Amino acid sequence: MKDIFKSLDEPTRRAFLLYAAKTTLGVSLAPSFLLGADDATPPVKMAKKAPCERVIFLYMKGGMSQIDTFDPKDSQEIGGPSRPIATQSDDLQLSNKLPKLAMQGNDLSVVRSMTTKTGSHSGARYVMHTGYRQRTGMTHPQLGSWAQMFLGKSDPILPSSVVIASGNPGPGFLAPDYSPLPIGNASRGIKDLLPKIDKAKLEKRVRLAQGFSSSFTHYFPHEEVTAYSDFYDQTVKFMSGDMAEPFDIMREPGNLRNRYGNHAFGQGALLARRLVERGVRYVEVTSNRSWDSMHGGSKNLANLSNELDGTVSSLMTDLRDRGMLDSTMIVVTSEFGRTPKVKGNGGRDHHPNGFSAMLAGGGIKGGIAVGETDENGRDPFPEYEPKNLHATIAEALGMTGTKIRRLPGRPSFLGGKPKPIKEILA
């Protein structure tokens, strides 16, 4: 048997071990070393502490209207149902659809001249998540995976990045152990990922598997086999109350859950706060409602803007009350914007040339708008692409001057080595 195992190639050995994990423990999660992860790149050594320690990335799917949120226009033809209002900051106006965020204007920075090169939802969504345009045969990493690559794991047991209700592209060409943990339903947390057996049965299986593992390791001292016992320990810890606790928003007070909003997006933002508070570095939450207003969808603007305004303002207040806002960056963005002029059916078309992103908290100056569109909501200047937004987040996290060699002799940079938006960095 020993000779047979040695003769197997790496994928076959991993497949055997993965099968053993699933059948013995009854779990769908698997340790990274079974999935083909390479040795971790040493984390970046920073000369000084980065101003941002964690990121909550709030993604408004479907193409959020910048006119109705962060770049309002004082024109009936352009503004549609929205009008500019003053905020806490004299240098920043928002749409009157966001009155709660306006009260926190001193902590907000808005980039009003975002652009992207594609008007398709899938293509623009990919660019916003990776900083790269889609290429055949290649997938690029998301921001949380880059951060883990350059900064190391943020917690010994918890994942370094989590995506909630998201179509996030994952680790791309990085090793699988840089994958974010996907959570489909914030209210259920990790319940859908856990074994469908009770704890007593699991522990019995673990004891049997550990007995098997000890003799197996003796005869087959392969590094993947040697590390396999760690997976048993991690599985039991993940099953325990201590490890399930960060993912359980039902432990939050009912009045706080209500303030975030009794909808999937609000509860996802609350879960994001719980996770970053406990050691997760990067959490993405995707809105459950679509901002796609091409076919008269702007009729849903009141619900969309109320959810955005109430949830993000509650998240900021909650983080501030816990002393975490100064070290936690909040990002609100979308794949592209919407045409300034409202169509006859009340909708707005795709508009990749001039939309907005909002940032607040850790590493962000606050109280300002950077870039602009003209009075008709067009001609953005200066133009910032999603890769510039990524570089801004990366610099705040302390990920500067870093690269990874994806293939021998072929270095890759986060977002293609773009320039950050310095004006909004604290």
Reported as a single tens digit per residue, the pLDDT across 248-265 is 999 999 999 999 999 999
d(CA 240, CA 88): 45
| Residue 287 CB contacts under 8 Å (≥ 6 apart), including other chains | 58, 59, 60, 61, 62, 265, 304, 307, 308
pLDDT in tens, 356-386: 999 999 999 999 999 999 999 999 999 999 9
Residue 220: is its pLDDT beyond 80?
no
| DSSP output for 319-356 | HHHTT-GGGEEEEEE-S-EE-SSPPTTS---EE-EEEE
- pLDDT of amino acid 403: 58
> pLDDT tens for residues 282-312?
999 999 999 998 766 666 889 999 999 999 9
224-228, 229-233, 324-328: least confident range:
224-228
pLDDT at 383: 97
Whether the predicted pLDDT of 22 surpasses 60: no
C-alpha angle with apex 319: 302 to 47, nearest 5 degrees?
Answer: 125
Poorest-pLDDT segment among 141-145, 221-225, 256-260: 221-225
- Dihedral angle sign, alpha carbons of residues 335, 372, 93, 367: positive
pLDDT at 8 over 50: no
- The average confidence (pLDDT) of the chain is 82
| pLDDT for the residue 193 | 66
pLDDT at 176: 79
Say how far residue 91 (Cα) sits from the centre of its chain.
Answer: 29
Pick the CATH number of 38-189+271-424 from 1.10.10.60, 3.40.50.970, 3.40.720.10, 3.40.50.410: 3.40.720.10
* DSSP tag of 106: G
How sure is the predictor about 40, in pLDDT bands with cuts at 50, 70 and 90? very low
| Whether the Cβ atoms of residue 363 and residue 118 lie closer than 8 Å to each other | no
Please state, in angstroms and rounded to a whole number, the distance separating the CA atoms of residues 252 and 274.
9
What's the distance, Cα to Cα, between the start and end of the chain in Å?
A: 61
pLDDT for residue 73 is more than 50: yes
Q: What is the pLDDT of residue 138?
A: 83
Contact 155, 181 (CB under 8 A): no
The DSSP bridge pattern shows strands 353-361 and 404-407 to be unpaired
pLDDT bracket for residue 168 (50, 70, 90): confident
**The residue to which tokens 């008709």 are assigned:** 376
Q: State the average pLDDT over residues 40-65.
A: 82
Q: According to the model, what pLDDT value does residue 411 have?
A: 62
pLDDT tens readout for residues 401-417:
555 555 555 566 776 67
pLDDT computed for residue 238 by the predictor: 57
Least confident range from 11-25, 81-95, 318-332, 409-423: namely: 11-25
Domain definitions of the chain by residue range: 38-189+271-424
Q: Is the pLDDT of residue 110 over 90?
A: yes
Per-residue pLDDT at 287: 96
Residue 110's DSSP bridge partners are 358, 369
Q: What is the pLDDT of residues 189-207, one digit of tens each?
A: 887 766 566 667 766 766 6
Cα angle 299-284-103, degrees, rounded to a multiple of 5: 60
Question: Is the pLDDT at 62 greater than 50, yes or no?
Answer: yes
Share of the chain above pLDDT 70, in %: 73
Q: Give the pLDDT score at 186.
A: 93
Residue 148 vs residue 35, higher pLDDT? 148
